[in-house]
Structure 1
Amino acid sequence: MPMKKLDPLDRKIIAALQHDGRLSVQALAEQVGLSPSPCARRVRILEDEGVIKGYSAVIDQAKVGLPVSAFASIKLEKQNEDHLDRFAEKVLQWPEVVDCYLMTGQFDYLMRVVVADLPAYEQFLKTKLTRLKGVSSIETSFALGQLKRSEVLPVSVG
């Protein structure tokens, strides 16, 4: 079943929840100009349709002992379905990989790996990434600082 088109109220709900996913239905309803029951129904529909995929807390990675972000660009030996599927299957199991994108251009994948320090990244490389069959090259860059990070999408409410 195709997803319904998002109307301005849906967009207001999405924008409000992106900024505070802990809003009560009452507070959310007041913010978007609905009564609680229709607001809760709209949120449930957005969840059921997968527009709202879940709720989580935003954690400061340095304060939990994971200050290092490494960006690994990976090239596979072949870009056929089997190689891509095998790579994806393994990467989904690795908690150190917090983001991974299939890319166009020189590399096949770009991933962000979060670890405690450089020896931890070396261990990740040696025990996981370099052991993955079909990987032909890995280039890593380390973030020196973070200017911006956001999960908030620019959903227009106009």
Structure 2
Amino acid sequence: MPRPALDPIDRQLIALLREDARAPTAVLARKLKLSRTTVQSRMERLQRQRVIAGYTISVPDELEASLVRAHVLITLVPKQSAAIEQALRKIPELRVLHSVSGPFDLIAIVAATSIGELDALIDRIGALDGVERTTSAIVLSTRIDR
């Protein structure tokens, strides 16, 4: 699919939605100095073009900081990537999944409420059919977060 061209108003709209994805259309329209129907039609077009692929939530820092996070490096049995991805999508503690080059096939970023839960989560990932090996690294602190 060709990459859609975004005009300056589209970019401003996207920036506003990044700040607050639940902002009412009327508020967005007022900030952009456009009519509500114009903003609504732009949002619908951006969704059709998959520029906006969804809306998300932001968890307060104090809640997220209480979780134990880890990066789980996953090596797969050949040709099992799609099935493993489907299984991993069902794990709510999984925050991000990257496909990578190098000695590992995937890197999963996970979060759990305790070391015990993290241990069980990593065991669950390792037990998935098609996972050959996992290696994990617990995040001790975040030095830079952009």
- Length-normalised TM-score, structure 1: 0.80
Number of residue pairs matched by the alignment: 146
Structure with more relative contact order (C-alpha pairs < 8 Å, separation 6 or more): 1
What is the Cα-based RMSD across aligned positions, in Å? 2.3
Distance 2:48 2:66 in 1: 34
- AA aligned opposite 2:112: V
Distance 1:112 1:94 in 2: 11
Distance 2:64 2:8 in 1: 38
- State the identity as a percent: 25
Greater shift in the superposed pair: 9-18 or 39-48: 39-48
- AA aligned opposite 1:48: R
Structure 2 residues not aligned, in runs of 5+: none
- 1:64–1:16 Cα change, 3 Å: closer
- 1:52–1:149 Cα change, 3 Å: farther
After TM superposition, list the pairs within 5 Å mapping 1:4-153 onto structure 2.
4-60=4-60, 62-63=62-63, 67-78=67-78, 80=79, 83-126=80-123, 128-147=124-143, 149=145
Distance 1:131 1:60 in 2: 32
- Length-normalised TM-score, structure 2: 0.86
Q: Is the 8 A contact 1:74 1:110 kept in 2?
A: yes
- 1:49–1:116 Cα change, 3 Å: same
* Alpha-carbon offset, residue 4 of structure 1: 3.6
- 1:101–1:49 Cα change, 3 Å: same
Structure 1 residues not aligned, in runs of 5+: 151-158
